Amino acid sequence: MKHFYLTTAIDYANGQPHMGHAYEKVLADVIARHRRLCGQPVYFLTGLDEHGQKVQQTAEKEGIEPQQLCDRVAGDFQKLCHSLHISHDDYIRTTEKRHKIVVQSVLQKLFEQDEIYLADYQGLYSPRLEQFLQEKDKVDGHWPEEFGEVIEISEKNYFFRLRRYYPWLVHYIKTHPDFIFPHFRAKQVLEFLKDEPNDLCISRPKKRLAWGIPLPFDEDYVTYVWFDALLNYLSAVGYGEEALGHYWPVDIQIIGKDILLPAHTIYWPCMLKALELEMPRTLLAHGWWLVSGSKMSKSTGQVVQPLDYVRLCGADAFRYFVMREMVIGQDCDFSHERFMARYNGDLGNDFGNLVHRLLHMLRRYCGSAIPRGNFSDADDQALRQHWQEILPRISEAYQHFAIHSALELLWEMLRLLNRFTELRSPWSLAKSSRDEDRKKLEATLATLAEGLRLVVNALQPVMPETSRIVLNALGLTSEANLHWDQSLRWSQGLEGRSVGDPSVLFPRVEG
Ligand code: MSP
C-alpha cells in the first residue's frame, strides 16, 4: 500500500536550530499525526543538508573538519526534534552513503541521457549564495545585501538542460492548481517564469569547493548543493529500488516561502521530469517567523531559541502557540508577550482550569467515577449541536492545513464548556438534597467529560502529550488508537470510567 509521504526542507548544517526550523517540523508533525489518526500509513521525512560552501567555511573558521561540524549540528537538530515530540520516520543526512549513491546514480543517468553537458561559464558569481548571477538580479542597480560579495569568474562547468522543460513546466503549473499551495504562490511562480530560465549549473570545481559529492563522470568537480539536497526526497525512500513505489509520488512537501523559487518550483520539477518520475502532489509553502518585522535568521542575529520556550512551558505549549498564531502561507511576528498571553490565557485558563475543575468535581461529588448522563435540557442539546456543527469544519481545517482555524474552533468549544459549567453551577447542585438536582449534577459532569474528551481527541495532532494525559485522566488509555471519525462522535462511552487525580497541566508562568 502506498504511504502518505510527507517531507520538510532539510536544514542547513551551518547554524543552530531556530524558530523557523522548529515551526516547520511541528507543522509537518501535526499533518503526519492527523493522517495517521485518519488511518493512513504515513512516512514522514526530515533531515539535514550538510554540503556546500557555507558549511566548509564555518568548519574552517572553527578549525574543525566539515564532517565534525555536521555531526554536531545534526545532534542539535535531532535534539530539537526529540524535544518537540516530532514523530518523523526517518532523518536523512546528505553525507550518508545511501544519499551519495543516489545522487551519483542520478547524475550518471542524466549525463548518459544528454541532460547534462559541459560548457564554459563566464560571469558573475555570489560565493555566499553559491549562485551564478545576472545583471537582472540587481535591485535598483545594486546587488542585494544577501548576495554578499559578487565576483567575476570564468570556468568550465556542467549544466543541466533545464530550458528543455520550460514550456512543460509552465503548462504543468497552470493545469495543476493543487501543485503549489497557497494558490497565490503559484501566481508568483508563473510571474517569475515569464522569463525563460537558464540551464542550471550543477557543478562546482573541487579546487574552489571540496565539501560536496563528486560528479561520477568528472572527479574534478563536486555537485552543486541544491542539486544534491533536493535529491534527499528520493534517496530516503529507495530511488532505483522497487520500494520507491510505496512512497512516490510524494504527497506533501513542506518548505518555507524563500525556497519555493527557484529550487522547489523550477529545479526540482524539471529534475523529476528528466528522471521520468511523477511530480509531488503538493508543495506547501509556509511564511516566515519575524521578530519586529525582520526575518528571524542567524545572519540578522534575530533569533528566538525554541528550546527556551519548550523548557519554560513544555513542548505542547510551544506546538500550540506556533500552530495557533501562524496562518499558513503568511508571515507572523513572534513576541514573548504573545506567547505568554496564549500560554496563561488559552492554555492555563480556558483549557487547564476546565480539566482541573472537572476532575476535582468528579472526585468530590461522584467518587471519581464518570456518572450517567441521563438528563438533558436545552443547554446540553446546544452543546451537542454545536459540536456536530463544528466537527466537519475542524476536519476540513486539518485536511487543508488551516491548523489555526481548527484550534480556534476547538477553543470556541472549550469556552462553551466553561460557560456551561458556570451556568449549571455544579457546586450549588451538589449542596441540594433533591433527586432532580442530583441527576442534573451528574448529567452536567457527564456532559462536560464527554465534551472534553472530544476536544482533546481532536487536539491530539497538535498537543499529543497533553491529550494523552487528559484521556488517561478520563479513564481512557487506548483512545489514541481509535480512528479519527470514530473518536470524535458524541457518545456515552465514558460512563462508569474511573478518573485520575487532578494535576495542573499548565502551571502559571510569570514574565
Ligand atoms: N537547506 C535548505 C533546504 C534544502 S531542501 C532540499 C535550507 N535550509 S535552511 O536551514 O535555511 O531552512 C530550512 C527551512 O526552514 C526552510 O524551509 C526555510 O524556509 C525555513 N525557515 C528558515 N527560517 C525561517 C523563518 N524565519 N521562519 C519560518 N521558516 C523559515 O533552506
Considering only CA atoms, which residue is closest to atom 18 of ligand 1? 256
Closest atom of ligand 1 to 233 CA is 6
Is the distance from the beta carbon of residue 283 to the nearest atom of ligand 1 less than 6 Å? no
What does the pLDDT read at residue 480?
65
pLDDT of 300 strictly over 70: no
Is the distance from the beta carbon of residue 9 to the nearest atom of ligand 1 less than 6 Å? yes
Please say whether the dihedral angle defined by the alpha carbons of residues 444, 445, 446 and 447, taken in this order, is positive or negative.
positive
Closest C-alpha among 89, 23, 86, 21 to residue 49: 21
Is the distance from the beta carbon of residue 55 to the nearest atom of ligand 1 less than 6 Å? no
Q: What is the pLDDT of residues 170-207, one digit of tens each?
A: 999 999 999 999 999 999 999 999 999 999 999 999 99
Closest C-alpha among 192, 195, 176 to residue 279: 176
pLDDT of 129 strictly over 90: no
C-alpha 319/C-alpha 87 separation (Å) is 13
Considering only CA atoms, which residue is closest to atom 9 of ligand 1? 11
Residue 43, strand partner residues = 5
pLDDT of 295 strictly over 80: no
What does the pLDDT read at residue 477?
81
Please give the distance of CA 214 from its chain centroid, rounded to a whole number: 32
Q: What is the pLDDT of residues 447-506, one digit of tens each?
A: 999 999 999 999 999 999 999 999 999 999 877 678 999 999 998 889 999 999 888 999
Residue 214 CB partners (closer than 8 Å, separation 6+)? 104, 206, 221, 222, 223
DSSP state, residue 142: B
Residue 70 CB partners (closer than 8 Å, separation 6+)? 13, 48, 50, 55, 93, 95
C-alpha 159/C-alpha 200 separation (Å) is 5
Is the distance from the beta carbon of residue 304 to the nearest atom of ligand 1 less than 6 Å? no
What does the pLDDT read at residue 322?
98
Is the distance from the beta carbon of residue 255 to the nearest atom of ligand 1 less than 6 Å? yes
Is the distance from the beta carbon of residue 50 to the nearest atom of ligand 1 less than 6 Å? no
Closest atom of ligand 1 to 290 CA is 26
State the distance from the centre of ligand 1 to the C-alpha of 39, rounded, in angstroms.
Answer: 30
**Which sequence spans correspond to the domains of the chain?**
348-487
Instruction: Outline where DSSP puts E strands in 94-235.
Output: 116-126, 131-133, 151-160, 180-181, 200-201, 203-205, 214-215, 218-223
Residue range 348-487, CATH number: 1.10.730.10
What does the pLDDT read at residue 301?
66
Task: Find the range with the poorest average confidence among 59-68, 160-169, 414-423, 501-510.
Answer: 501-510
Helix (H, G, I), strand (E, B) or coil at 424: helix
